[in-house]
Structure 1
Amino acid sequence: MDRVAKLASQKAVVIFSKSSCCMCHAIKRLFYEQGVSPMIHELDEDSRGKEMEWALIRLGCNNPSVPAVFIGGKFVGSANTVMTLHLNGSLKKMLKDAGAIWL
């Protein structure tokens, strides 16, 4: 849990992902298209990935546990939550407040 919290606070936007997950790919692309350069942690490519995945599940990421998005060091949610925030316009404000974008 401490490792996830530490990694999540290293950049304005942090995404825990799996390289084979299509929703993870879609969420990463959404952030890139917003002009954000998120820090990506591919759990399936990390030797401690399974451990971090269990920590994410304990945080509230349930089936599936990824993508798990953190903005400003705070857990925002998974793909459904991020897409909802994007569609209602809240995501852009969160990104500005975290210093991930300036526009």
Structure 2
Amino acid sequence: MERVRDLASKKAAVIFTKSSCCMCHSIKTLFYELGASPAVHELDKDPQGRDMEQALFGASGSTQAVPAVFIGGRYVGSAKDIISFHVNGSLKQMLRDSKAIWL
């Protein structure tokens, strides 16, 4: 979990993904459309990806570790959570508050 925390703290918006995950692609696209440029860490392409995925399972409490989204260094959720935040309007404000977007 230490590596996950370290990577999550290096940029305002961080998404842990897998290259073959369609929901990961959707969440990345949403962030780009909102004007954010998140750090994206594809666990299936990282030598320590398996360990990070296990750590993310513990953090999320979900059956899926990815996508795992961190904003402002804090874990905010998986795809379902991010979509809910987007629908209710709070995702954009979270991104603004963390300086991931400016508008």
TM-score of the aligned structures, taking structure 1 as reference length? 0.98
In the alignment, is the contact (CA less than 8 A) between 1:67 and 1:79 conserved in 2?
yes
Deviation >4 Å, runs of 4+? none
Matches within 5 A, 1:1-103: 1-103=1-103
2-side partners of 1:50 and 1:58: how far apart?
13
Kindly state the Cα deviation for residue 60 of structure 1 after the two structures are TM-superposed.
Answer: 2.0
1:91 maps to a residue whose letter is L
Identity rate of aligned residues, in percent? 61
2-side partners of 1:61 and 1:45: how far apart?
23
Kindly state the Cα deviation for residue 62 of structure 1 after the two structures are TM-superposed.
Answer: 1.8
Distance 1:95 1:16, change over 3 A: same
2-side partners of 1:97 and 1:73: how far apart?
12
Kindly state the Cα deviation for residue 64 of structure 1 after the two structures are TM-superposed.
Answer: 1.3
In the alignment, is the contact (CA less than 8 A) between 2:60 and 2:78 conserved in 1?
no
Give structure 2 stretches of 5+ with no counterpart: none
Give structure 1 stretches of 5+ with no counterpart: none
* Larger CA deviation: 33-42 vs 57-66: 57-66
* Larger CA deviation: 68-77 vs 58-67: 58-67
Q: How many aligned positions are there?
A: 103
2:92 maps to a residue whose letter is K
